[in-house]
A and B are shown apart, each in its own frame.
Chain A
Amino acid sequence: MREHPEPRGPREPGAAPSLDVHVRRGPVDARLTVPLDGVTVLFGPSGAGKTTLLRAVAGLGEGDGVAVRFGDEQWDGGRRRTPARARRTGYVTQSPGLFPHLDVRDNVAFGLHGRRWAGPRGRRPDDAGRAGAVPHADPHRRVLECLGLVGAEHLADRRVTTLSGGEAQRVALARALAPRPRLLLLDEPLSGLDGPAREALRTDLRSLLVSEGVPTLLVTHDRTEALALADRVAVVVAGTVRQVGPPTAVFDRPADADVAGVVGVETVADGVVTGGADGLVRVRAGGAELTALAEPAPVAGTHVLVCVRAQDVVLERSPGPSSARNHLLGVVRTVTPQGALVRVDVRCGESFDLAAYVTRPAVDELGLRPGVAVAAAVKAPAVHLVERPGPVRPVRP
């Protein structure tokens, strides 16, 4: 449809530029407004409509039922549709999509052409500080620069068909970044990779996104990826956006039952590794000390997200000797029945909130009420750590 009411979302007056997307097509009716700042992860089960949203922002596919506003540019839904090639976005999909008839260098240079993007830089909020060189006066150097960013300079003269999955994906990233896009769109970029390649790229990707500072929209259905990469998370379930917020908020305090089912982890908190040996790691989170299992152990000082599933937490009146490595003393804050179980939120340490699922009889036996002192026991393997180079950026939710 050509005319479409402008998508409205909650926005502070005088706020930095934001991206408004509204897609109404078939089973999908999703509206999303996020500031153009940091990494936003679209998280949800497969088929929820996340890819539809991303493609709409990129300008791919049909334009009907779509309204997209980037800052103050109406890309879709206004009088004229801005074609994909004019949006200055970067787009990376699950399959690298490299051009097989070109070598790596030519692939990365593909978006650098003519003087189209020379001259004044885009409207990225952090552009103001950088020295304003013309971006593509030297495409050759830019290609090597980008390959360096993704750790693939040694692949510059290889044929694309000889690359491994991980290598190809890195080249695809370099290709997307080369023309200095104003917005980076990543559609499950790690899904096609296996174990070690996946973890390596995940870590490198986070560092890359933080250092390049390009606003990014990343789609994934993998919880660890979302936690490792996001500055904010938008949960998409069955074609609608249910909740948007920092990862700790979304995973720790899901807005509704569907979101809770999708995110599946009840306690997510910021933490710092304080030490460890023999596969056991000590972490400090919100004033509480925890022992987790991690091989290889991250070095002391690493920022991590501490994740504990509520069903793995045992509550006791007083701590006693047991095999569990973690015994946290705290105070019950809320008791919420949820079907057959009861969710008990316990404040341990200064600000570490731990969620536990216990049965109704247990609640009665232990007399669990807000204000009661309890001890929470958690086994070391149940404390899951997600490494994040650099703390979670303090971005607007």
Chain B
Amino acid sequence: MIDWEALVLSARLATATTAILLVVAVPLAAWLAWSRRRWTVVVEAVVALPLVLPPTVLGYYLLAATGTRSPVGRWWYETTGSTLAFSFTGLLVASVLYSLPFAVQPLLAAFAGVDRTLLDAAAVLGRGWWQTLLRVALPLARAGAATAAVLTFAHTVGEFGVVLMVGGNIPGETRTASVAVYDAVQALDDAAAARTSLVLLGFSLVVLTATYALQRRARPRVLP
């Protein structure tokens, strides 16, 4: 049968990750795009780490940070009675971190491309940093925001290595679709693997097509 539980879990994880990241990445990307301080390059490098590090390395560090031996993991265990690692919440935290560059980079490029005279105009007209970001820059960077959302969603659905290490393959909790397919193949259940994979493929294709269509409409108009 089709492993709906795993598919729904993947969708939940991707949606939650995308929502959180859009809130986090927008101000971060704007700050990186407009700040004149030179040490922002360090921050950019740190943000880009998940693009370069092997998922197992990422997974190891995340486990170390959220396991019960770490301060964060211990606090979580004491507060909620369950571990942060090998839970959906733990997976969500890991997911946000490893998808960070996919959200930040398109937004950064879009913000850097906003005409500076418009930002200057907003400042002189009395708007502060946040107001300028939300009322001027973000509407003009709609395409970048759409790209960020698409890439984040897609990347989260497709992640495997980190999910396995940090999630622990718990059905209904951390056993995402990508892990479910791996399990089915390992168990030589070819039919299950094929069915789940097909649904995942179809779903991803539909989501991606829809979001690229939105992105096309959101492209800012060129002045005559």
Contact = CB atoms under 8 A, between A and B. Distances in A.
A156 interface: no
Most chain-B CB neighbours within 10 Å: which of A60, A83, A89? A60
Most chain-A CB neighbours within 10 Å: which of B115, B120, B220, B224? B120
Interface in B88-143: 115, 117-118, 120-128, 135-136, 139-140
Given A100-B140, A100-B221, A101-B140, A85 B118 contact: no
Given A175-B125, A179-B125, A161 B223 contact: yes
Interface residues of A, number: 29
Contacts of A60: 120, 123-124
B126 A85 contact: yes
A161 B123 contact: no
A100 B120 contact: no
A13 to B, nearest CB: 33
B123 A85 contact: yes
A84 B136 contact: no
B117 A111 contact: no
Nearest to B140: A101
Given A93-B117, A161-B224, A116 B126 contact: yes
A179 B126 CA distance: 9
A113 B136 CA distance: 15
Interface in B73-94: none
Contacts of B128: 85
Contact of A161 (B124, B126, B221): B221
B129 to A, nearest CB: 9
A62 B35 CA distance: 12
Interface string B207-224: 000000000000011011
Interface residues on B, range: 20 to 34
A272 B205 CA distance: 76
A27 B121 CA distance: 26
Nearest to A116: B126
B1 to A, nearest CB: 48
A113 B117 CA distance: 20
A110 B223 contact: no
Nearest to B123: A84
Interface in A294-320: none
A58 B122 CA distance: 12
A97 interface: yes
Contacts of B123: 59-60, 83-85
A176 B115 CA distance: 18
A84 B129 CA distance: 11
Contact of A100 (B122, B127, B220): B220
A88 B127 CA distance: 11
A91 interface: yes
A111 B125 contact: yes
Most chain-B CB neighbours within 10 Å: which of A58, A95, A97, A162? A97
A83 B126 CA distance: 9
A248 B221 CA distance: 46
Contacts of A83: 123
A116 B115 CA distance: 26
Contacts of B223: 100, 161
A87 B127 CA distance: 11
Nearest to B122: A110
A85 B220 contact: no
A99 B136 contact: yes
Most chain-A CB neighbours within 10 Å: which of B120, B121, B135? B121
A100 to B, nearest CB: 6
Interface in A73-119: 83-91, 93, 95, 97, 99-101, 110-111, 113, 116-117
Would you list the 5 A-B pairs with minimal beta carbon distance, nearest first?
A: A111-B125, A97-B117, A84-B123, A91-B124, A101-B139
Interface of B: 36, 115, 117-118, 120-128, 135-136, 139-140, 220-221, 223-224
18 contacts: A58-B124, A59-B123, A60-B120, A60-B123, A60-B124, A85-B127, A85-B128, A86-B126, A87-B124, A88-B126, A91-B124, A95-B117, A97-B118, A100-B221, A110-B125, A111-B125, A111-B126, A161-B224
